[in-house]
Protein backbone atom coordinates (compact mmCIF):
# COMPACT_ATOMS: atom_id res chain seq x y z
CA UNK A 1 0.00 0.00 0.00
CA UNK A 2 1.50 3.38 -0.99
CA UNK A 3 2.30 6.01 1.62
CA UNK A 4 0.03 8.48 -0.19
CA UNK A 5 -2.88 6.04 0.00
CA UNK A 6 -2.24 5.47 3.71
CA UNK A 7 -2.39 9.21 4.43
CA UNK A 8 -5.54 9.53 2.34
CA UNK A 9 -7.15 6.62 4.15
CA UNK A 10 -6.33 8.11 7.58
CA UNK A 11 -7.99 11.37 6.52
CA UNK A 12 -11.14 9.47 5.50
CA UNK A 13 -11.07 7.39 8.69
CA UNK A 14 -10.76 10.43 10.96
CA UNK A 15 -13.46 12.19 8.96
CA UNK A 16 -15.78 9.22 9.44
CA UNK A 17 -15.07 9.10 13.18
CA UNK A 18 -15.76 12.84 13.42
CA UNK A 19 -19.09 12.24 11.67
CA UNK A 20 -19.91 9.51 14.20
CA UNK A 21 -19.17 11.91 17.08
CA UNK A 22 -21.36 14.59 15.51
CA UNK A 23 -24.23 12.12 15.04
CA UNK A 24 -23.85 10.93 18.63
CA UNK A 25 -24.12 14.48 20.01
CA UNK A 26 -27.15 15.13 17.80
CA UNK A 27 -28.68 11.95 19.20
CA UNK A 28 -28.04 13.16 22.78
CA UNK A 29 -29.71 16.50 22.01
CA UNK A 30 -32.70 14.72 20.49
CA UNK A 31 -32.98 12.44 23.53
CA UNK A 32 -32.92 15.40 25.95
CA UNK A 33 -35.63 17.14 23.93
CA UNK A 34 -37.80 14.03 23.98
CA UNK A 35 -37.34 13.65 27.74
CA UNK A 36 -38.49 17.24 28.27
CA UNK A 37 -41.59 16.54 26.18
CA UNK A 38 -42.62 13.51 28.26
CA UNK A 39 -44.06 15.59 31.08
CA UNK A 40 -43.26 16.21 34.72
CA UNK A 41 -39.49 16.60 35.09
CA UNK A 42 -39.39 15.23 38.65
CA UNK A 43 -41.23 12.09 37.57
CA UNK A 44 -38.95 11.60 34.55
CA UNK A 45 -35.83 11.98 36.72
CA UNK A 46 -37.16 9.32 39.07
CA UNK A 47 -37.85 6.94 36.17
CA UNK A 48 -34.32 7.25 34.75
CA UNK A 49 -32.49 7.47 38.08
CA UNK A 50 -30.52 4.30 37.28
CA UNK A 51 -29.28 5.66 33.96
CA UNK A 52 -25.57 6.57 33.94
CA UNK A 53 -24.64 8.99 31.14
CA UNK A 54 -20.93 8.38 31.71
CA UNK A 55 -21.39 4.68 31.00
CA UNK A 56 -23.27 5.47 27.78
CA UNK A 57 -20.51 7.83 26.64
CA UNK A 58 -17.89 5.23 27.52
CA UNK A 59 -19.63 2.60 25.40
CA UNK A 60 -19.69 4.97 22.44
CA UNK A 61 -15.97 5.75 22.80
CA UNK A 62 -15.05 2.05 23.11
CA UNK A 63 -17.14 1.11 20.08
CA UNK A 64 -15.54 3.90 18.01
CA UNK A 65 -12.02 2.87 19.06
CA UNK A 66 -12.80 -0.79 18.33
CA UNK A 67 -14.14 0.15 14.89
CA UNK A 68 -11.01 2.17 14.04
CA UNK A 69 -8.70 -0.56 15.36
CA UNK A 70 -10.54 -3.18 13.32
CA UNK A 71 -10.14 -1.15 10.14
CA UNK A 72 -6.42 -0.63 10.79
CA UNK A 73 -5.93 -4.33 11.50
CA UNK A 74 -7.62 -5.30 8.24
CA UNK A 75 -5.42 -2.83 6.32
CA UNK A 76 -2.25 -4.57 7.60
CA UNK A 77 -0.20 -1.39 7.28
CA UNK A 78 3.51 -1.69 6.57
CA UNK A 79 6.40 0.67 5.98
CA UNK A 80 6.79 1.69 2.31
CA UNK A 81 8.97 -0.87 0.58
CA UNK A 82 8.55 -3.39 3.39
CA UNK A 83 7.85 -6.86 2.07
CA UNK A 84 6.91 -8.18 5.50
CA UNK A 85 9.92 -10.48 5.57
CA UNK A 86 8.57 -12.56 2.69
CA UNK A 87 10.98 -13.28 -0.15
CA UNK A 88 9.47 -12.91 -3.56
CA UNK A 89 9.40 -16.11 -5.62
CA UNK A 90 7.18 -15.23 -8.56
CA UNK A 91 6.82 -12.44 -11.07
CA UNK A 92 4.00 -10.19 -12.25
CA UNK A 93 2.65 -11.19 -15.65
CA UNK A 94 0.01 -9.30 -17.62
CA UNK A 95 -1.61 -11.33 -20.39
CA UNK A 96 -2.84 -9.16 -23.26
CA UNK A 97 -5.42 -10.93 -25.40
CA UNK A 98 -6.70 -9.68 -28.76
CA UNK A 99 -10.48 -10.15 -28.88
CA UNK A 100 -11.13 -8.46 -32.21
CA UNK A 101 -13.34 -10.29 -34.72
CA UNK A 102 -10.27 -11.29 -36.73
CA UNK A 103 -9.52 -13.73 -33.90
CA UNK A 104 -12.56 -15.77 -34.99
CA UNK A 105 -10.60 -16.85 -38.08
CA UNK A 106 -10.31 -20.63 -38.34
CA UNK A 107 -6.91 -20.73 -40.04
CA UNK A 108 -5.82 -22.10 -36.64
CA UNK A 109 -8.41 -24.66 -35.59
CA UNK A 110 -10.79 -24.32 -33.87
CA UNK A 111 -10.15 -20.54 -34.08
CA UNK A 112 -7.38 -18.08 -33.29
CA UNK A 113 -9.22 -16.93 -30.18
CA UNK A 114 -9.69 -20.47 -28.88
CA UNK A 115 -6.03 -21.28 -29.48
CA UNK A 116 -4.98 -18.06 -27.72
CA UNK A 117 -7.17 -18.87 -24.72
CA UNK A 118 -5.77 -22.40 -24.56
CA UNK A 119 -2.23 -21.06 -24.67
CA UNK A 120 -2.88 -18.53 -21.92
CA UNK A 121 -4.59 -21.14 -19.75
CA UNK A 122 -1.56 -23.44 -20.04
CA UNK A 123 0.69 -20.50 -19.21
CA UNK A 124 -1.33 -19.72 -16.05
CA UNK A 125 -1.16 -23.38 -14.99
CA UNK A 126 2.63 -23.29 -15.24
CA UNK A 127 3.03 -20.13 -13.09
CA UNK A 128 1.77 -21.14 -9.63
CA UNK A 129 3.86 -18.51 -7.80
CA UNK A 130 3.17 -15.59 -10.13
CA UNK A 131 0.57 -12.83 -10.07
CA UNK A 132 -1.54 -12.72 -13.21
CA UNK A 133 -3.35 -9.79 -14.80
CA UNK A 134 -5.48 -9.76 -17.96
CA UNK A 135 -5.92 -7.04 -20.56
CA UNK A 136 -8.44 -7.47 -23.38
CA UNK A 137 -8.03 -5.31 -26.46
CA UNK A 138 -9.41 -4.65 -29.91
CA UNK A 139 -10.22 -1.07 -30.92
CA UNK A 140 -9.72 -0.21 -27.25
CA UNK A 141 -7.97 -1.92 -24.35
CA UNK A 142 -9.43 -2.74 -20.94
CA UNK A 143 -7.90 -4.09 -17.77
CA UNK A 144 -10.22 -7.06 -17.37
CA UNK A 145 -8.47 -8.35 -14.23
CA UNK A 146 -5.82 -6.61 -12.10
CA UNK A 147 -2.77 -8.52 -10.91
CA UNK A 148 -3.80 -11.33 -8.59
CA UNK A 149 -2.62 -14.67 -7.26
CA UNK A 150 -6.15 -16.05 -7.69
CA UNK A 151 -5.45 -18.27 -10.68
CA UNK A 152 -8.99 -19.64 -10.57
CA UNK A 153 -10.31 -16.15 -11.32
CA UNK A 154 -7.67 -15.74 -14.05
CA UNK A 155 -8.79 -18.98 -15.69
CA UNK A 156 -12.42 -17.87 -15.54
CA UNK A 157 -11.73 -14.50 -17.16
CA UNK A 158 -9.60 -16.10 -19.87
CA UNK A 159 -12.23 -18.75 -20.67
CA UNK A 160 -15.02 -16.15 -20.96
CA UNK A 161 -13.08 -13.65 -23.08
CA UNK A 162 -14.88 -13.11 -26.38
CA UNK A 163 -15.19 -10.67 -29.25
CA UNK A 164 -18.13 -9.11 -27.37
CA UNK A 165 -15.88 -8.16 -24.43
CA UNK A 166 -14.68 -4.98 -26.18
CA UNK A 167 -17.27 -2.82 -27.97
CA UNK A 168 -15.02 -1.18 -30.57
CA UNK A 169 -13.24 -3.22 -33.22
CA UNK A 170 -9.69 -2.99 -34.51
CA UNK A 171 -6.32 -4.08 -33.17
CA UNK A 172 -4.59 -1.27 -31.29
CA UNK A 173 -1.52 -2.89 -29.77
CA UNK A 174 -0.13 0.38 -28.39
CA UNK A 175 -3.22 0.92 -26.24
CA UNK A 176 -2.98 -2.65 -24.95
CA UNK A 177 0.68 -2.13 -24.08
CA UNK A 178 -0.12 1.09 -22.20
CA UNK A 179 -2.90 -0.60 -20.22
CA UNK A 180 -0.61 -3.52 -19.42
CA UNK A 181 2.17 -1.23 -18.20
CA UNK A 182 -0.27 0.67 -15.97
CA UNK A 183 -1.28 -2.58 -14.30
CA UNK A 184 2.16 -2.97 -12.72
CA UNK A 185 3.42 -1.41 -9.51
CA UNK A 186 5.44 1.57 -10.75
CA UNK A 187 7.73 1.40 -7.70
CA UNK A 188 9.07 -2.02 -8.72
CA UNK A 189 11.72 -2.19 -11.43
CA UNK A 190 11.88 -5.97 -11.73
CA UNK A 191 9.63 -9.03 -11.83
CA UNK A 192 7.44 -7.79 -14.71
CA UNK A 193 6.41 -9.35 -18.01
CA UNK A 194 3.75 -8.77 -20.66
CA UNK A 195 2.60 -11.63 -22.89
CA UNK A 196 0.73 -10.64 -26.05
CA UNK A 197 -1.48 -13.01 -27.98
CA UNK A 198 -2.96 -11.70 -31.22
pTM: 0.53
Asked whether residue 53 carries a pLDDT value surpassing 50, the answer given is yes
> In terms of DSSP bridges, do strands 141-148 and 131-137 run parallel, antiparallel, or are they unpaired?
antiparallel
More confident residue, 167 or 97: 97
Asked whether residue 150 carries a pLDDT value surpassing 50, the answer given is yes
pLDDT at 115: 92
Q: How confident is the model at residue 44 (pLDDT cuts 50, 70, 90)?
A: low
Residue 100 CA from chain centroid, whole number: 28
DSSP class per residue in 102-164 = GGG--SSSS-HHHHHHHHHHHHHHT-TTSEEEEEEESSSEEEEEEEES-HHHHHHHHHH--TT
pLDDT at 11: 77
Would you kindly state where each structural domain of the chain is located, as residue ranges? Answer: 3-75, 92-197
| Local structure of residue 49 (DSSP, 8 states) | T
pLDDT at 88: 53
More confident residue, 4 or 180: 180
pLDDT at 83: 47
Asked whether residue 140 carries a pLDDT value surpassing 70, the answer given is yes
Cα separation, 60 vs 52, whole angstroms: 13
More confident residue, 151 or 58: 151
Asked whether residue 180 carries a pLDDT value surpassing 70, the answer given is yes
Mean predicted lDDT score pLDDT of the chain = 79
Helices (runs of H) and strands (runs of E) counted in the chain? 6, 4
- For the segment 16-24, the average pLDDT, to the nearest whole number, is 82
Q: Indicate the fold that domain 92-197 takes in CATH.
A: Rossmann fold (3.40.50)
| Local structure of residue 101 (DSSP, 8 states) | G
Tens-place pLDDT, residues 83-131: 444 455 678 999 999 998 888 888 888 889 999 999 999 999 998 888 9
Cα separation, 148 vs 65, whole angstroms: 32
**% of the chain exceeding 70 in pLDDT:** 75
Other C-beta atoms lying within 10 Å of the C-beta of residue 183: 20
More confident residue, 187 or 82: 187
Tens-place pLDDT, residues 57-88: 778 788 878 877 777 666 555 554 444 444 55
Asked whether residue 183 carries a pLDDT value surpassing 80, the answer given is yes
Cα separation, 127 vs 130, whole angstroms: 5
Amino acid sequence: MSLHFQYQFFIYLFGFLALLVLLYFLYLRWKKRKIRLIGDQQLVRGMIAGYAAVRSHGKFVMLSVAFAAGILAVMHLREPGDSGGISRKGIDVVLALDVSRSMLSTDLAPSRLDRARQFMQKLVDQMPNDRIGLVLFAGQAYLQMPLTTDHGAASLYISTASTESVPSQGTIVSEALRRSANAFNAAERRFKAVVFNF
